[in-house]
Structure 1
Amino acid sequence: MRLLIVLTCVLAGCQAQRPHPCKSPPLLTGAFTVSTQNEKLYIYSQFEYDGLGERIRLLEFGNFENKSFNYDVLLLFREAAMLEINYHNRTCNKKPFKTDFQPMGVPKDATLLSQAILGSSSGPGQGLLINTWWGDLPDKTGKYLSTTTEFGCIMVSTAYQLKTYGWTVTNFFNNVIGIADPSLLNPPDFCKDAKMQHSKEEPADFLSLFQNRK
């Protein structure tokens, strides 16, 4: 009987340690790179992420179809709008961005693929405990792989399939909890009077922001 109780406790402990889908901190500052399988698009970006107010600021440069670009954009999901900001010319283009806000983290329906140590477990500070998840993209348009830290649920990398680009890989780094510069999440003064500009091809997601940038 005692043995049965001990085994039950051990099994319960193992189940308690199994990773679960999680949400990243609601306020984050960091950077990431994006690269695509067909080599049409490469991006390096610094970001400010406000999961509470559903706002994201991206300050980036990249290469699309062998042409380089710089991009400064504020995504305002609750307003279904995006602001293309140019401080040099003090101009601001306001465009529709009718995309549902997706909080950073692991979706509830994700399946745990593996848990591993990134780096080494030989000594303190030499490794990082990570979890890798997989699942279906919205509307089952493809698959994704997502890796987060076990502690804190900080994004490490994502990989997913898109018809336009093939496999697309995003790597996150230099993440800091909190907003380094809150002013970046507010439109500049010269954007206050910006009027919505509609076009035939409106961005449907993050990567489609760059398809017409040549």
Structure 2
Amino acid sequence: MKIFFCLALVVACSAQVPTPCESPKQWVGRRLRTDRYKQYFELAVHSYDEVNMRTASREEREVGKERDYFAKIHLYNEGLEYALNLRTMQCNVTKLSHPFRRVGVPPDARFLFEGDYGAAGIPSEHLTAATFGGKFEDGAEYLVTVAEPDCIPLDFDVRSNTTTEHYQERYYDLTLGISDPTVFIPPKQCMVIPVPP
């Protein structure tokens, strides 16, 4: 009887451990990105399209004491980044230095912990979130936190030992789907720039 009880308890406990979930593949929201080592702070309206492997953002950024404004488009299928400085209207077209990063929980992610944001147990004053970790194929490590039960991304941290890629992102006010697909079209100022070989 004791063995049966212990086995039932193990099964019940393991059933409660969150497993990797499927995050929305397309959304628009606000993003806060920081890199404390580079004294980098950025607020952006961010469009994320996992289906077509592309992102677009309108960014207000601070590096040290310098403040600037950019419209950036990352087209991972083309391997290109378009960065238009909205103050000077100058555009830079560069090759992307890292692969597309899925903002969500990869299937091989390892569950780390679960907790409540806000005041636990008070209706409408908290949300339950799960944090997962792992490594991407190129060796970069990640931590991702998603709201439960719908797997909505909240936090996304990436650190690479082989490149300078190290950032923390927080997401707010997400709306599912892409309401304006034209945000992924490079601005005309970028079309006169030669594409890097």
TM-score interval (norm. to shorter): 0.7 to 0.9
Contact 1:40 1:65 in 2 (8 A): yes
| TM-aligned CA deviation for residue 49 of structure 1 | 0.8
| Structure 2 unaligned regions, length at least 5 | none
1:156 counterpart residue number: 154
One-letter code of the match for 2:152?
Answer: I
The 1:191/1:152 distance shift into structure 2, 3 A limit, reads same
Aligned residue in 2 for 1:145: 143
* Conservation of the 8 A alpha-carbon contact between 1:133 and 1:147: yes
Aligned 8 A contact 1:28 1:48 in 2: yes
**Within 5 A, what are the aligned runs for 1:13-92?**
14-38=13-37, 40-85=39-84, 92=91
More displaced, 148-157 or 86-95? 86-95
Unaligned 5+ segments in structure 1 are 199-214
Residues 106-126 of structure 1 show CA distances to partners (whole Å, capped at 9, x for unaligned) of 223322111111112333222
Query: Do 1:26 and 1:52's aligned partners in 2 also have CA atoms closer than 8 Å?
Result: yes
Aligned length: 196
The two structures have a TM-score, normalised by structure 2, of 0.79
| Structure 1 residue matching 2:124: 3-state secondary structure | coil
The CA RMSD measured in Å over matched residues stands at: 3.3
**Matched AA of 2:149:** F
Q: What is the one-letter code of the residue matched to 1:148? A: V
Task: Kindly report which structure 2 residues correspond to 1:6-17, keeping only aligned pairs within 5 A, or say none.
Answer: 12=11, 14-17=13-16
Task: Read off the aligned partner of 1:152 and give its amino acid letter.
Answer: D
Which aligned pairs between 1:111-150 and structure 2 lie closer than 5 A?
111-136=110-135, 138-140=137-139, 143-150=141-148
Give the match's secondary structure for 1:38: helix
Rate the CA distance shift 1:78–1:113 in 2: closer, same or farther, 3 A: same
**What residue is the counterpart of 1:169 in the other structure?**
168
Query: Using the alignment, how far apart are the partners of 2:165 and 2:86 within structure 1?
Result: 34
State the SS of the aligned residue for 2:179: coil
How many angstroms apart in 2 are the aligned matches of 1:45 and 1:58?
6
In the superposition, relative to structure 1, how do residues 165 and 64 fare at CA in structure 2: closer, same or farther (>3 Å)? Answer: farther
